[in-house]
């Protein structure tokens, strides 16, 4: 019996003892990133969510980059120079750039990439859907003609990854969709190594990259799929991961202020969340009723829920966005008397409404609950239904719900019109409440054609005012993005035009 217990003890000792898991993180040249989901595709023409961008942004390069501290300032990347002449843009391409398979990068790659992207019509194609044609002038020069003059083309191209025309030609039957879904060959700082389904994508450093790595870069990157937020937080804290995205705020603040960690803070959210009100369905189709809801909403409760790491927006465009009219806008705050007056004017006392909330976002649920209690003070009943995202947005679009809760961010570093088109113009995917205003449609169409920044600023203010005055949206809060980074790691910066991603090529050990 003693012998058996001894064996059991040795077995348990071997199983549980040995190397502590925290110890692995310190000595390995590998960077482990805990990502909130597994990509559905790694095709840059289709990539649409953060965990897809994690891969595509690091494997591929773009024609231009931008300064994260000043998104209006564009930086050279695969293109070294560019200029606009009316509807024509000319890009001079960088010499000596090669894809990971060794083939040279040239203007044919740019043309093939953009032609393919626009044909597929998914992912980020909406950012450059004003392109009319792409012409190869010579191997190092490409000309892009837009449907109408647009000052934002170069800025939006900072989000479009460049593929190899040879790869596209080799897999032309389905526009390369099957191949690019799970294979990658870019010019970027990291090369695709493998994709273990359900577990991770492995990348290795491209030491022939044209750009500059910091000292002590990571040779190997593992993009781990960790669906549970608590697990991402715990794994980061326990040393199993080097960085994690979408760590719940309370955990992020706790970890980031604990020993061995620091907090990286920045802006990239336009609203988190925004509540969209249905313009077609009673009672939210009444403007005065919507005004009552906007004015009754308890913004302070939302800011407090973000533990002070948030402000209340004055409109759709945040103050840190290039050319934002935010500072000239009127403060939006809770005013119960004004709300009651607006409700009386609407003649909709004791109204009932339904709110669809995408599941999986505690902040969304909380905002809906705040709306519910705020509306209750007016005698308005709000019924909340938490549903999967597609089901929730379908409910409001098909007039089965009065409101929908959504986070707002803009993928373009300096073009607000793409955001307006998606959220406030006719047919926009996120325009779930079916807002329509012809003046706004015209303004958004005109904005990119104005080359004078001051003039553009004025038009953007007019556009923002139209949305604010319609009371279509309740911008509940605009929180800061807070990311806990271990002290042994450096280089993480918040991208103001993306929520949230890691530029692995800037990360390094200390």
Partner 1 sequence: MIGFLFKRLVWGLLVLVAVAVITFFLSRVVPADPAAFLAGQNASEETVQRIRVEHGLDRPLPEQFASYMIGLAKGDLGESIRTRRSVSTDLAQYLPATLELLVVSFVFYLAISFSLAVLAARHPGGAVDGAIRLITMIGTGIPVFWLGMTLQFFFFYKLHWLPLGSRFPIRETAPPLVTGFMLVDSLLAGSPSAFLASLKHLALPAATIVINLLAVGTRMSRAALIQEQSRLYVRTARGKGLSPRRIMFKHILRNALSPILTATTMQFGYMISWVILVEVIFDWPGIGLYAYQSFQVFDYSPVIALAIVSTAGFVIINLVMDLLYPVIDPRVQSVGS
Q: Residue numbers of the site for partner 1 (CB under 8 A)? A: 14-18, 20-22, 24-25, 28, 30, 32, 37-38, 40-41, 46, 48, 120-126, 177-178, 181-182, 196-200, 222, 224-228, 230-231, 234-235, 237-238, 240-241, 388, 390-391, 394-395, 398, 422, 427, 429-430
DSSP 92-157: EEPTT-B-TTSPBP-HHHHHHHHHHHHHH--TTGGGGTTEEEEEEEETTEEEEEESS--TTHHHHH
Interatomic CA distance for residues 139 and 116, integer angstroms: 19
Which residue's CB is nearer to partner 1, number 49 or number 148?
49
Which residue's CB is nearer to partner 1, number 194 or number 451?
194
Sign of CA dihedral 364, 493, 328, 446: negative
CB of 367 to partner 1, least distance (A): 20
Interatomic CA distance for residues 234 and 220, integer angstroms: 22
Which residue's CB is nearer to partner 1, number 77 or number 395?
395
Which residue's CB is nearer to partner 1, number 76 or number 429?
429
CB of 200 to partner 1, least distance (A): 8
CB of 407 to partner 1, least distance (A): 12
Which residue's CB is nearer to partner 1, number 82 or number 499?
499
Q: What is the DSSP letter of 330?
A: P
CB of 62 to partner 1, least distance (A): 18
Angle at 136 between CA 104 and CA 75, to 5 degrees: 70
Which residue's CB is nearer to partner 1, number 127 or number 294?
127
CB of 312 to partner 1, least distance (A): 26
- Residue 116: C-alpha distances to residues 39, 61, 78, 95 (Å): 20, 16, 18, 23
CB of 90 to partner 1, least distance (A): 27
Helix 453-470 to helix 438-446 angle (10° resolution) is 160
CB of 59 to partner 1, least distance (A): 18
Burial readout 6-29 (b: 16 or more C-beta within 10 A, e: otherwise): eeeeeeeeeeeeeeeeeeebeeee
Computed on alpha carbons and rounded to an integer, the radius of gyration of the chain in Å comes to 25
CB-based contact 224:200 (threshold 8 Å): yes
CB of 222 to partner 1, least distance (A): 6
CB of 201 to partner 1, least distance (A): 13
Q: Is 238 helix (H, G, I), strand (E, B) or coil?
A: coil
Burial readout 435-444 (b: 16 or more C-beta within 10 A, e: otherwise): bbbeebbebb
Which residue's CB is nearer to partner 1, number 55 or number 468?
55
Which residue's CB is nearer to partner 1, number 123 or number 322?
123
With CA atoms as reference, report the closest residue to 209 among 113, 105, 92, 110. Answer: 105
Which residue's CB is nearer to partner 1, number 374 or number 417?
417
């Amino acid at each position: 019996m003693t012998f058996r217990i001894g064996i059991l003890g040795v077995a348990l000792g071997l199983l549980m003892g040995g190397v502590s898991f925290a110890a692995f993180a310190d000595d390995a040249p590998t960077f482990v990133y805990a990502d909130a989901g597994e990509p559905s595709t790694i095709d840059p023409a289709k990539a649409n969510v953060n965990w897809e961008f994690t891969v595509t942004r690091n494997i591929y390069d773009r024609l231009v980059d931008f300064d994260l501290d000043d998104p209006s300032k564009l930086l050279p990347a695969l293109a070294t120079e560019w200029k606009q002449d009316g509807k024509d843009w000319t890009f001079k391409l960088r010499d000596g750039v090669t894809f990971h398979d060794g083939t040279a990068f040239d203007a044919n790659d740019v043309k093939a990439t953009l032609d393919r992207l626009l044909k597929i019509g998914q992912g980020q194609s909406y950012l450059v859907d004003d392109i009319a044609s792409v012409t190869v002038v010579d191997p190092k020069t490409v000309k892009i003609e837009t449907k109408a003059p647009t000052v934002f083309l170069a800025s939006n191209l900072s989000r479009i990854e460049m593929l190899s025309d040879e790869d596209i030609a080799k897999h032309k039957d389905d526009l390369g969709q099957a191949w690019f879904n799970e294979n990658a060959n870019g010019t970027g700082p990291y090369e695709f190594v493998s994709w273990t389904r359900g577990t991770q994508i492995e990348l290795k450093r491209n030491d022939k990259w044209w750009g500059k790595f910091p000292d002590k870069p990571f040779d190997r990157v593992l993009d781990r799929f960790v669906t549970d937020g608590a697990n991402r937080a715990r794994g980061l804290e326990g040393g199993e991961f080097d960085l994690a995205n979408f760590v719940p705020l309370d955990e992020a603040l706790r970890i980031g202020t604990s020993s061995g960690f620091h907090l990286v803070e920045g802006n990239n959210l336009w609203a988190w969340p925004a509540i969209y009100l249905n313009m077609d369905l009673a009672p939210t189709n009444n403007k005065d009723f919507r005004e009552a809801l906007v004015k009754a909403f308890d913004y302070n409760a939302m800011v407090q829920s973000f533990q002070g790491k948030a402000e209340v927006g004055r409109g759709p465009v945040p103050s840190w966005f290039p050319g934002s009219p935010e500072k000239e806008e009127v403060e939006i705050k809770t005013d119960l008397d004004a709300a009651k007056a607006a409700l009386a004017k609407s003649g909709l006392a004791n109204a009932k409404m339904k709110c669809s909330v995408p599941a999986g976002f505690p902040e969304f649920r909380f905002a809906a609950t705040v709306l519910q209690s705020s509306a209750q003070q007016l005698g308005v009943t709000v019924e909340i239904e938490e549903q999967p995202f597609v089901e929730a947005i379908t409910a409001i679009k098909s007039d089965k719900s009065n409101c929908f809760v959504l986070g707002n961010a803009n993928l373009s570093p300096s073009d607000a019109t793409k955001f307006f088109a998606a959220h406030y113009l006719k047919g926009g995917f996120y325009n779930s409440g079916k807002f329509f205003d012809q003046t706004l449609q015209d303004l958004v169409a005109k904005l990119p054609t104005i080359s004078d920044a001051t003039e553009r600023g004025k038009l953007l203010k007019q556009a923002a005012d139209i949305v604010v005055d319609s009371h279509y949206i309740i911008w509940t809060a605009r929180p800061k993005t807070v990311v806990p980074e271990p002290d042994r790691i450096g280089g993480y910066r918040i991208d103001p035009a993306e929520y949230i991603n890691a530029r692995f090529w800037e990360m390094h050990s200390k």
